[in-house]
Structure 1
Amino acid sequence: MNRRALIPDGTQAAVNDLKISPGILSHDHVFVTGMTGSRPDGSMPENLEEQFHLAFERSSRS
């Protein structure tokens, strides 16, 4: 099976502690868990569209 863990920058310590990856890319599908739309400073935008874009931007950098 062709799959790859998605681990955004700055999350490797949490991945090691929890023994899970925030996402998996499998063929043409992306499965995420705990991937939030927070800003780099940790704050959460009130606008849901911005949260969505930030979450997927984070996923694509992995």
Structure 2
Amino acid sequence: MTRKRYRIGKILVTDPNIAISEEANARRAYISALRTFWLAYYDLRRLALYDFEQGQPLLERPEVGRR
């Protein structure tokens, strides 16, 4: 579609390059956002000592005062 529009003069030579660059930037931003999300998730998991997927603590709490 873009090539056809280019051939008939509806878009400039630079337009496809700009579109490719914007797509690459969007991909990088998406990957960066995913990375930030998962780093925050595992930081929260580590700090809370809780596995949110399994719904259980990461460490067992020792029972105090029971015999």
TM-score normalised per structure 1: 0.26
The structure in which a higher percent of residues are helix is 2
Q: Which has the higher contact order (CA 8 A, sep 6+)?
A: 1
The structure in which a higher percent of residues are strand is 1
TM-score normalised per structure 2: 0.24
